[in-house]
Amino acid sequence: MVIQTISLVIQDPPDMNLQDFLKADMLVPKKLLHEMRMSKKVTVNDDHPLWTKPLQSGDRITLPIFPERVEPQATAMPVDVLAEDEHLLIVNKKAGVDTHPSSETDHLSLSNGVAYYFQQTNIQAKVRHTHRLDKDTSGCILFAKHAMSGAILDKLLAERKIKRTYLALVEGIMKTKQGTIEKSIGKDRHHAQRRRISPSGQRAVTHFKVIKEFSSENLTLVELHLDTGRTHQIRVHLSSIGHPLFGDTLYGAKNKYHRHSLHAWKLAVPHPFNDSTITAEAPLPKDFGPAKLSLT
């Protein structure tokens, strides 16, 4: 799915000129906006526009998509595509894989695999992940296919319009079956990789609901929604109420396992260029928890 231009029709006059509209409404970055102007490829109603002229209802704007160098380095690996169109891509990440390269010599991240997918499907774009997942967290990750899509998706995420649903297997039987954890999170001065509850940290809000209990194993399956996206937010919040993720020894789990049991289950993304919503669901992987549990 490769596109070279984006066409938009102005429905309600935005009371601004073309340049201000692209900056304010379309979130075109300054460098890209300059490139568009210099290219002479932007048109309004199929004509070269006067950039300072106010836009009118019914105006049709056509914007170029510039080819980019595909980066990071492409690595041939399977990529499990859950949803896709010309502007975005949703991929199911396996546990044990980094979202992006951890160093200059790391070429085995999901982003390296998506770069290969871009090459194979003739998408000439930098790999842009809108959000990320911890290495041992599996599930849905959203990528943009070009710079304009990336800018808009970043804003939608910041405005909490992209809805993410997680599943977690936690230690202990949760007495409270549904609720909200609102505790600020900051860095742990004594451990570079850890985060901790901190009154001076960033505001963090997690909503949870118990889905299933496993009394004999002393484990609970929980559904979670986030109002914020802090580093290790779910892991820190659940640990703070005495229910660390199964296998998450960094945050106090008693059970050792090759991964922590957190999965980005569902993703609902408002489309960056129309009124539709793109949805995806990543099935629970077989290694999500102990093999003897029936999680469905």
Show which residues are catalytic: 134
237 with 190: CB under 8 angstroms?
A: no
What the block records as the tokens of 125 is 């774009």
| Residue 111 C-alpha from the chain's centroid | 13
Residues 6+ apart with CB under 8 A from 260: 134, 136, 137, 235, 245, 246, 247, 248, 250, 253
CA angle (150 as vertex; 183, 142 as ends), nearest 5: 60
108 with 121: CB under 8 angstroms?
A: no
* SS3 (DSSP) at 109: coil
Cα distance between residue 284 and residue 221, in whole Å: 12
Greatest distance between any 2 Cα atoms in the chain: 71
Quickly tell me which residue has 């289950």 as its tokens. 265
Quickly tell me which residue has 């509850």 as its tokens. 197
Cα distance between residue 166 and residue 137, in whole Å: 10
Residues 6+ apart with CB under 8 A from 277: 268, 269, 270, 271
Report the first-to-last Cα separation within the chain, whole angstroms: 34
Q: Catalogue the E-assigned strands of 215-285.
A: 219-226, 262-270, 277-281
